[in-house]
Amino acid sequence: MTSTLTLGLLGTGIMGAPMAVRLARAGYFVKVWNRSRDKAAPLEAEGITVCDSPAQAGQEADAVIVMLSSGQVCDDILLGEGALLDTMHEQSTLVVMSSIPVETARRQAEEAKKRNVRYLDAPVSGGEKGAIDGTLAIMAGGEPATFEALRPVLAHLGNPVHVGPAGSGELAKLANQMIVGNTIATVAEALLLAERGGADPAKVREALMGGFADSTILRLHGQRMLDNDFRPGGPAKWQYKDSSTAVALLDSLQLDLPVTRLVDALFQSMVEHGDGDLDHSALIRELRRRNALPV
């Protein structure tokens, strides 16, 4: 593929906006749509066209990237009234980069196939920083030939890896979110243990870095916990959406994975206590509540 391609992008939130900017700067003609048009308006300074409807963003596009909040929202836009899929031309490609249930991605792939539209489910990990820097982990499910055709586009956003047929990208994302969520909980517990045990939690974190306990979560989110800085890069409500989706999949597969279930319950409590719009690293606040510690 070359930079003469026209790309549509739906959803210009924390992740979608910097992704659109990277694609425009790579030389693609980019059209975007966002439910709140004013949030997308600043992208016009990058030469990006802001559209009034998903259909307008999808018309004449060689590929449409979807960065919407949930499987239901994606279905509403793709298959509901004024269905985006019905406006896309044959042999164009729909790339759903939202985190949605595996079965939703598989169903969307079938609906796209009926319309001779190619389909990839390609959710991402890396947060706002990864979207800005173009270092996202991109887990793609779909036909290998479709993936290879879109690889040059996706490479401007991060590291795309084909992991299997339609739905496999979402399966990989659930595995990713299990690791992220479970590790956030463990790091939060470790820092609280250090604090209550009388050590300096900042120094404990520093001592652990470089050893087997080191991780991106310890480095980045551990520092957030120490600084009490929970401006959302990855809002907790979306982490809970993914963890509850993972638990539903565990149930359907009759898998007993107790750590994931426990962490899902922690994120549920966190959201119920009003912290859903904070970064998911704010899970330490929920552990503080459980231990009657200052939040």
Beta bridge partners of 160: 138
Q: Judging by beta carbons within 10 Å of its beta carbon (0-12, 13-18, 19+), is residue 222 exposed, middle or buried?
A: buried
User: Is 31 annotated as catalytic?
Assistant: no
3-state secondary structure of 224: helix
Out of 31, 114, 129, 173, the active site residue is 173
Question: Helix axis angle, 201-208 relative to 168-197, nearest 10°?
Answer: 130
| Cβ within 8 Å of residue 29, ≥6 positions away | 4, 5, 6, 7, 49
Residue 277 parent element (H or E): none
Q: Under a CB-based contact definition with an 8 Å cutoff, are residues 118 and 179 in contact? A: no
Beta bridge partners of 184: none
What are the two backbone dihedrals, phi and then psi, of residue 183, each rounded to the nearest 5 degrees?
-70, -40
3-state secondary structure of 247: helix
Q: How far apart are CA 172 and CA 61, in angstroms?
A: 27
Q: Which residues of 239-250 are buried (b: 16+ CB within 10 A; e: fewer)?
A: bbbbbebbbebb
Q: Which residues of 4-15 are buried (b: 16+ CB within 10 A; e: fewer)?
A: ebbbbbbbbbbb
Residue count of the chain: 295
Catalytic residue IDs: 173
